[in-house]
């Protein structure tokens, strides 16, 4: 499939961010393969084995070994008329470098196979073993996705709708007031204990993730603020 709407919500956000970076430096990147079914993966695996063509994958569909089956990866190609997979000017390496710059993994760093047109979410590693051991099948994994994260735009300006504790990681340890920089302390409702952003405090998002139904956003400072917590929105676009 070539429908990015079938991919993990976090990857959809990253694709938009990567496209913007590519456009800025004149790299015409086009999205190719996205989510794959078992049948689609088996058909690719058969190529060069029981069907004509060259081998393009070592992952049979029934083993759920391809990142594409889990919706955490996509392939890309160049759309500037120089040949979809022409890499004489290091096109794929340059796109891969931009992908890594925003926290994505790049198949060009793999040893076997080297897969330059492949980009993926790296938090589960470079294989699907963690996903398979945790969820068993892609369907179970997909049911954990929270597409509401797409309501928040990376790079967008937001303000809190009520006081919010800051965290060192999504849903993780709260930021201690004594450890906070001065400009964060100035936005806190408290002068000790844990930092709690005042209602109406402004911030810019650099990353958005879903955790157990809640949505968390990372600010430019690196701290995390709840965007939706226990079903209640905690932030809105800043006007």
Q: Of residues 5 and 120, which shows the higher confidence score?
A: 120
Q: Which structural domain, as residue segments, surrounds residue 52?
A: 4-142
Alpha carbon of residue 60 to chain centroid: 25
* 137, 202: one domain: no
Sign of the CA dihedral 66, 68, 74, 77? positive
Average pLDDT of the segment spanning 186-215? 92
Average pLDDT of the segment spanning 146-164? 89
In tens, the pLDDT along 100-149 reads 999 999 999 999 889 999 999 999 999 999 999 999 999 999 988 887 78
* 171, 220: one domain: yes
- Name the domain boundary from 98, 118, 142: 142
* 15, 121: one domain: yes
- Name the domain boundary from 142, 177, 210: 142
Asked whether the bond before 112 is cis by omega within 30 degrees of 0, the reply is no
Residue count of the chain, please give it.
239
Q: Is the pLDDT of residue 153 over 90?
A: no
CB atoms within 10 A of CB 221: 16
- Name the domain boundary from 118, 142, 166: 142
**Any idea what the CATH number is for the domain that residue 80 is in?**
3.30.1380.10
Q: Is the pLDDT of residue 185 over 80?
A: yes
Residue ranges of E strands in the chain: 29-31, 73-78, 105-106, 118-120, 157-160, 164-165, 196-197, 202-211, 214-219, 224-229, 232-233, 235-237
* 12, 103: one domain: yes
Distance in angstroms (rounded) separating the CA atoms of residues 97 and 76:
14
Cβ-in-10-Å burial (0-12, 13-18, 19+) of 210 comes to: buried
Per-residue pLDDT band at 23 (split at 50, 70, 90): very high
Q: Is the pLDDT of residue 154 over 90?
A: no
* 136, 218: one domain: no
In tens, the pLDDT along 59-80 reads 888 999 999 999 999 999 999 9
Predicted model pTM: 0.74
Looking at residue 99, what is its pLDDT?
Answer: 97
Looking at residue 142, what is its pLDDT?
Answer: 93
**Any idea what the CATH number is for the domain that residue 204 is in?**
2.30.30
**Integer CA distances (angstroms), 174 to 167, 169, 212, 228, 230, in order:** 4, 8, 17, 16, 17
Average pLDDT of the segment spanning 191-208? 95
Residues facing 158 on adjacent strands = 203, 237
Percent of the chain with pLDDT over 90: 77
| Helix residue spans in the chain (DSSP H) | 9-24, 38-46, 91-101, 129-135, 138-142, 182-185
* 230, 196: one domain: yes
* 165, 132: one domain: no
Domain count, the chain: 2
């Amino acid at each position: 499939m070539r429908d990015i709407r079938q991919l993990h919500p976090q990857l959809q956000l990253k694709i938009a961010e990567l496209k913007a970076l590519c456009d800025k430096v004149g790299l015409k990147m086009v999205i190719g393969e996205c989510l794959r079914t078992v049948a689609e993966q088996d058909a690719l695996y058969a190529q060069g084995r029981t069907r004509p063509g060259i081998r393009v994958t070592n992952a049979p569909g029934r083993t759920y070994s391809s990142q594409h089956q889990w919706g955490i990866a996509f392939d890309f190609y160049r759309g500037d008329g120089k040949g979809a997979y022409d890499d004489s000017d290091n096109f794929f390496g340059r796109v891969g470098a931009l992908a890594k710059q925003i926290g994505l993994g790049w198949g060009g760093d793999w040893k076997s196979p080297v897969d330059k047109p492949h980009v993926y979410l790296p938090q589960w590693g470079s294989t699907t073993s963690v996903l398979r051991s945790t969820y068993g099948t892609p369907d179970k994994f997909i049911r954990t996705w929270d597409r509401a994260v797409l309501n928040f735009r990376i790079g967008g300006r937001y303000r809190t709708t009520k006081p919010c504790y800051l965290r060192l990681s999504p849903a993780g340890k709260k930021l201690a007031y004594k450890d906070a920089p001065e400009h964060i302390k100035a936005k806190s409702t408290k002068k000790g204990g844990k930092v709690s952003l005042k209602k109406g405090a402004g911030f810019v998002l650099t990353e958005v993730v879903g955790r157990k139904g809640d949505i968390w956003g990372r600010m430019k400072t690196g701290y995390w603020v709840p965007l939706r917590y226990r079903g209640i929105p905690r932030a809105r676009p800043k006007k």
